[in-house]
Chains A and B, each alone.
Chain A
Amino acid sequence: MAEKTVRTGWDLKRGHDAATKWTPTPDWRSAAIVRSSWSARPLHGLGQTLLSGDLDAARAALAPNASEAGLWQVAEGDALVRIARDRALLVTARPLSAPAGWSPSGWATSAADDAWAVIELAGESARAVCAQATSADLEAGSPSAALLFAGVTCLLYRTAPETARIHVERGFAPYLWRWLETVEG
């Protein structure tokens, strides 16, 4: 019996797996890029909570010690990673168990622990790698850590002078990882 052909622009056959067209997703448990002057690895298990509204009040209630991070700024420990005037991503060592929704004191939380994938770039060339991904002036002190990084919206800040963190929407993480793999040096 002749195999039935599904009529599409690609003339796909029944049972065709379109996923094979795409670059395979890295195995995040073992993924690592190691070069002589920089390295990249995925970070797992961080708490990520989207905050809206009165960010100072939200920080005081949820993570009083969190330091605010704009673009390329250094935040050690818990970080209030600024996205917009009234929006930030609170990054903590472990997921918070804060209830989602509005607080009467003017702020709201949305649990986003798995919404972004987190990639750490470390080494003396980490800055040079980031400079290939954006034309934003990393030292200009932009208060928002959100930027187009290699063409996709990311959050970029540091946790130490030569250690950068990139948060990227999880669906774009395989692309961004493959992009990093193409960076030489």
Chain B
Amino acid sequence: MQLFSCPFCGPRDETEFHFAAEAGKTRPEPAGEVSPEAWSGYLYAKSNPGGPSREIWQHVTCGEFFLMERDTLTHEVAGSKALRGQRP
């Protein structure tokens, strides 16, 4: 069992989280001019680093998507960061 930290809820069991995507991917636009190869690369190609990585995860129970930096070899979590403005 491992704890991940949701930027809103705080530390919760890993079972409450889903991996969403590698961070830094930008959807190619405009859709009508994107080649099948570029679209396929956006959807399926992953760099899958062994070591420090930046990923988008979702905390399923609150619904928030956020940035998590972790090491895929040691499972150590360096931190998580909200992707949207905080409620003032």
CB <8 Å contact, B10 and A147: no
Taking residues whose C-beta sits less than 8 angstroms from the other chain, chain B's interface range is 10 to 19
CB <8 Å contact, B11 and A147: no
A87 contacts the other chain (Cβ, under 8 Å)?
A: yes
CB <8 Å contact, A84 and B12: no
Number of residue pairs spanning A and B whose beta carbons lie under 8 angstroms apart: 50
CB <8 Å contact, B11 and A143: no
Question: Does more than half of chain A's interface fall in helix, strand or loop, or is it mixed?
Answer: loop
B8 contacts the other chain (Cβ, under 8 Å)?
A: yes
Taking residues whose C-beta sits less than 8 angstroms from the other chain, chain A's interface range is 10 to 19
B62 contacts the other chain (Cβ, under 8 Å)?
A: yes
A80 contacts the other chain (Cβ, under 8 Å)?
A: no
Known: A135-B1, A147-B16, A148-B15. A142 touches B10 (CB 8 A): yes
Contact with A along B8-38 (1 / 0, CB 8 A): 1111110110000000000000000000000
In the complex, what residues of A have CB within 8 A of residue B6's CB? 144
CB <8 Å contact, B13 and A136: yes
Beyond the given pairs A84-B62, A136-B11, 9 more chain A to chain B contacts, judged by CB atoms under 8 angstroms and listed by A's residue number, are A84-B8, A85-B8, A85-B64, A85-B84, A86-B87, A135-B13, A143-B10, A144-B8, A146-B9
B residues at A contact (CB < 8 Å): 1, 3, 6, 8-13, 15-16, 60-64, 84, 86-87
A residues at B contact (CB < 8 Å): 71, 83-87, 134-137, 140-144, 146-148, 153
25 pairs of residues in contact across A and B, judged by CB atoms under 8 Å: A83-B62, A84-B62, A84-B63, A85-B8, A85-B62, A85-B86, A85-B87, A86-B87, A87-B62, A87-B63, A134-B13, A136-B12, A136-B13, A140-B10, A141-B10, A142-B10, A142-B12, A143-B10, A144-B8, A144-B9, A144-B61, A146-B61, A148-B16, A148-B61, A153-B60
